[in-house]
Structure 1
C-alpha cells in the first residue's frame, strides 16, 4: 500500500471536491486525511490517500489530468511514524507582516516541531484593527514547554498564548 500526498489549487468552482473524490474512488483509493479551503477565490487542498501499489500510477495520472486543478503529488512508499503533538497553543495578536515567521522561528529555536498551524484574520470589535488568531499543534519535550511559552510571549506585548496540553 502506498500513501500519496496531494496538494492542489485551482479557481474555486462547484464540484471540485466531488471531482477529486470520484477520481480517488475510481482508482480504489482511500481518502485518509485532508484540509480543504476557499482562499481568495481559489480552492486549495492537501489530501492524503492510501492506494494499492498497482493503482498508484494510474491515480497520479488521473489526478494530474483534472483540467481545473494544478496538483503536486508525492508518493510515500512507506508510511512514516505518526508524529503526535503534545501541546496545543492558541495565539492571538495584532496582525502584522512576519508574525507567522516569528512564531515558527521561536518554536523551532526552542526545539519544537510545528505539526499543524491553522490561522485566521478577524477584525477587533470596537476598533476594526486586524487580529491574528492561530491554533498551533506542537511536538516538544515537556521540560521545554515553559521556555517555549515565555519565548513566544516575549515576541511582542500584544501576543497572547493560551495552552492546552494534548
Structure 2
C-alpha cells in the first residue's frame, strides 16, 4: 500500500518552483495526487498530497526537506489513511461587506453547527458601483450524518444582515 504525504510549500515566487518540487517527487517514484497553489503577496504558497511506495517515503521526505537550500520551505507529514466517516457535504457561497474578524466569525458559525471546513477560498472584491471591499468565500463544508444543513445556513446568516449565503447539497 502506498504512503500518503501531505505537505505545505512556501517560497519567494519565481519560475521553476513547481518544476523543482515535481522533479523531486518524481525522482522518488512519487505520484502527485492533489494540490492547491497560489501566489500571495509575492510568495508562492501550496498544499499538496503525494503518494509514494512505503520504501521510498523516508528518502522522499529527506529530499523535500533538502529543497530548503533552494529557498523552498516544505513541511511534510506522512499520513495514515483514516477510515471514511459518513458525512454530508455542502457547497457554500458567502458574500457580504468586509470587516475585521469575518473569517473568525464564519469559522465559529460553521464549527458551532457541527460543520468541518473541507475546502475554503476567500477573496476581497470591489462592490459594483460603490467600490468598497466585499468579502467573498466559497467552499465545501461537511456535516456529520443526520445534521441539519438549515442550522448551518442559519448560523452563518445570524452573523449579520449584510451576509448573503447560498448552499448547494
- Consecutive unaligned residues of structure 1, counting only runs of 5 or more, are none
Cα deviation 1:37-63 (Å, max 9, x = unaligned): 100000000010001111111111111
SS in 1 for 2:148: helix
Residue 145, structure 1, aligned to residue 152, structure 2: no
User: CA RMSD, aligned part only?
Assistant: 1.4
Deviation at 1:9, TM superposition (A): 0.4
Query: How far, CA to CA, are the matches of 2:93 and 2:156 in structure 1?
Result: 11
The 1:82/1:16 distance shift into structure 2, 3 A limit, reads farther
Deviation (angstroms), 1:136: 2.2
Secondary structure of 1:24's counterpart equals helix
Other-structure match for 1:81: 83
Q: Distance in 1 between matches of 2:84 and 2:168?
A: 20
CA distance in 2 between counterparts of 1:161 and 1:42 reads 31
Checking the alignment, whether the CA contact within 8 Å between 2:123 and 2:136 is kept in structure 1 is yes
Change (3 A) 1:81 1:120: farther
Q: TM-score, normalised by structure 1?
A: 0.93
Identify the residue that residue 19 of structure 1 maps to in structure 2. 20
Alpha carbons 1:85, 1:137 under 8 Å: kept: no
Q: Name the TM-score, length of structure 2 as normaliser.
A: 0.91
Q: Which residue of 2 aligns with 1:59?
A: 60
Q: 1:129 and 2:132 equivalent? A: yes
Spell out structure 1 runs of 4+ moving beyond 3 A: 81-85
Unmatched runs of 5 consecutive residues or more in structure 2 = none
